[in-house]
Chain A
Amino acid sequence: MECFFTCTTKKQLYTAYHPPSDNVDKNIGIIMCYPFGQEYMRCHKFYFKLAVKLAKNGFHVLRFDYTSSGDSSGQSEDFTLSECLDDLHQIEKDFRSAINPEKIFLFGVRFGGAVSILFSKQADINGLILISPVCKGNAHLAEMKERYSNWLKGAFVNTKFLGKTDSEISGYPMSGDFLKEIRQLDIDCADYYRYNKCLIIDKTSPAFDSNSANVKFYEIMNDKFWVKTEDEEQKKSLPNYEMDVICNWLENV
């Protein structure tokens, strides 16, 4: 694994490149897009393990932190969807020039799934691997707020310090611009169809033509592994079934 900052004049993005193992190189690149906020924290280990496994199977895998998240530059309150898409554009461009893979797939859980879908409309992407992608921003926001509100009711905190309830979710500040972007996010499931290949792992199947050879749906087994929990065992567990589904699907693409 090679870790470094991908730099532009304004920002530096933490990037981890997992080269394929010595004996097999499929010449296929996979860029991994993280979820947002608390879900990013919960998914980090899964992304790392999946990247290691895919690299062992011969893929070039790239993980990166968006601006204002993780180890990348920027303050958390400046996080926006448009910046995430800009970052992905930069990363994809650099990845192509450095590796020149025959194909590039995007992988994303939740918000990372939304970033992947939106970006694939702007760039030459060969396929998507999505786990419970966020398609309706308002629903995503409502779900995060409800979870946070429930947590607050059982926590040793004084809500008078919270300020506007919309401005922070689970300790992650949300700017007005980001909230606006999330509220406007409305991805039609039909958008999935036009891609060359698409693997969707979710609770319910999106409405797609079941005869389409391009789209493959699997029901999620470890539902909501991205949710913060106090259960120590669950904290340590990884969604191994989903990891296997992804590896198997990629082997057959």
Chain B
Amino acid sequence: MKWMLYAIGSKMYNETVIVFGDNNQLNGILTAPDIYKSDAAVLLLNSGSLHRVGPQRLYVNIARDLGLAGFLSLRFDFSGLGESFAIETNLPFKEQLKHEISWAMSYISSHKNIHKFIIIGICSGAETAFHFALNNPSIVGCIPINGIYLEGDEYVSVIDNALERTKVRYYKKNALNLSRWIKLLTGKSKVLSNRKLLVSKFKHLLTNQTSKVIEQKSEPQILNRHRQAYNSKTKLFYIICEGSVAFDLFELLLKDWFKKENTSDHFKIKILADTDHLFTLSYSQSILRHEILDWMALYFYHDSE
């Protein structure tokens, strides 16, 4: 096709559509700053099945913030999501994701001569980012946001308890909110569909009990992975929202260890109050954008470049 192309008015960054990977089946938007202020590039990974614009266009705004600050970033869709075609492969799903992240890095290395990367993801994107960062020396920074990090039996053994804790926290927080009680009592709340859960919630509210602590026969595997991350050179910035089940999993499995070990400056954790799992409200999006920029500026911004 022939398309009319004009120069865009002066901006501090440029956005380009790129295709890469096997048979160019992956599609992404590269946001390049006019003046580079870092020798590391940022990769934004899909949040669940949402395409690369992110929830409420959050990834677009983060990429543009970074562009204005002098960082190059790539937000792309994994195969089968958003604008990328599915790839036929015999590889396990998670292995395929690792390949696709590597292709994104190779593209940036060969076209922009950047060989260090910071990887950001929300929800499942956080887990993918975290696991990829563990075994890849090119990843110098990682911001996993509301990651769960559990799989298999470990996930099954703890997720119900964590979800219940989330709901109990919700009702405690809103015990004095009339409109939310009306929603509950008029049968519009999902809680009523599970009477057993409802009874347990009232019990928790009345007795101020905390949720039962799961019995751990041995140290959870999840700790090993975080310890491995702690011992690596990758800088990590965990962000967890109060409204996410990730908060409860953190409380149940990791909080004590973090308290004990968190003495290193390359290992930061931030709990965001009054924010839901996908940063729905504009104010929570703005908090997240500032947190990311501040952390990036602290470790990866080089004014002399």
Give chain A's interface residues, CB within 8 Å of chain B.
Answer: 1-12, 14, 16-17, 41, 44-45, 48, 69-71, 73, 76, 94, 97-99, 150-151, 153-158, 161-162, 168, 170-173, 235-236
Cα A135 to Cα B148 in complex, Å, equals: 42
Interface assignment of B19: CB less than 8 Å from any CB of chain A: yes
Docked complex Cα distance between A76 and B15 (Å) = 16
Interface centre among B48, B244, B275, B280 (most CB of A within 10 A): B280
Contact indicator A98/B1 (Cβ below 8 Å): yes
> How distant is the Cα of A153 from the Cα of B274 in the complex, in angstroms?
13
Contact assessment for A17 and B83 in the assembled complex, using a CB-CB cutoff below 8 Å: no
Q: Chain B nearest CB: distance from A200 CB in Å? A: 28
Which of these, B1, B179, B282, B285, contacts A153 with CB under 8 Å? B179
**Complex Cα–Cα for A44 and B48 (A):** 14
Residue B60 CB within 8 A of the other chain: yes
Please determine whether A170 and B280 come into contact, CB atoms closer than 8 angstroms: yes
Are A17 and B1 touching (Cβ within 8 A)? yes
- 9 inter-chain pairs at a CB distance below 8 angstroms, sorted by A residue, are A3-B27, A7-B7, A9-B8, A10-B9, A41-B53, A45-B51, A161-B281, A171-B55, A236-B49
B130 beta carbon closer than 8 Å to chain A? no
Q: Which residues of B contact A2 (CB under 8 A)?
A: 1
Interface residues, chain B, with chain A CB atoms under 8 Å away: 1-9, 15-17, 19, 27, 29, 48-53, 55-57, 60-61, 82-83, 85, 169-170, 173, 177, 179-180, 183, 188-190, 241-244, 273-276, 279-285
Question: Which residues does chain B contribute within 8 Å of A16, judged by CB atoms?
Answer: 83
CB of B53 within 8 A of CB of A70, answer yes
Evaluate whether A98 and B2 lie within 8 angstroms (CB atoms) in the complex, with A3-B17, A44-B82 already known. yes
**Contacts A3-B17, A16-B83 given; does A157 touch B243 at CB 8 Å:** yes
Q: Are A156 and B56 in contact (CB under 8 A)?
A: no
Interchain CA distance A12-B51 in the complex, whole Å: 19
Secondary structure class of chain A's binding surface, majority of residues:
mixed
Inter-chain contact A156/B1, CB cutoff 8 Å: no
Provide the bound-state CA to CA distance between A45 and B52, in Å: 12
User: Which 6 A-B residue pairs are closest in the complex by CB-CB distance?
Assistant: A156-B243, A171-B56, A158-B274, A161-B283, A171-B280, A98-B1
Residue from A156, A162, A171 in contact with B173 in the complex, judged by beta carbons closer than 8 Å: A156
Cα distance A48–B83 when bound, in Å?
7
Contact A153 B183 (CB under 8 A): yes
For B242, list chain A residues within 8 Å (CB): 156
- In the bound complex, CA of A14 to CA of B77 (Å): 15
Task: Tell me if A41 and B275 are in contact (CB < 8 A).
Answer: no
Taking CB atoms, residues of chain A closer than 8 Å to B177 are 153
Q: Do B56 and A172 have beta carbons less than 8 Å apart? A: yes
Docked pose: A17 CA to B170 CA in angstroms: 45
- Is the beta-carbon distance between A173 and B282 smaller than 8 angstroms? yes
User: How long is the Cα–Cα vector from A9 to B133 in the complex, in angstroms?
Assistant: 40
Which of B5, B29, B83 has its CB near the most chain A CB atoms (within 10 A)? B83
Nearest chain-B residue to A52 (Cβ)?
A: B85
CA distance A73 to B17 in the complex (A): 13
Which chain B positions have C-beta within 8 A of A168?
Answer: 281-282
- State the Cβ distance, A191 to closest chain B Cβ, in Å: 31
Chain A: CB-nearest residue to B274: A158
How close is B58's CB to chain A, nearest CB, in angstroms? 8
4 more CB-based (< 8 A) A-B contacts, given A9-B8, A154-B189, A156-B242:
A14-B17, A71-B52, A154-B170, A156-B276
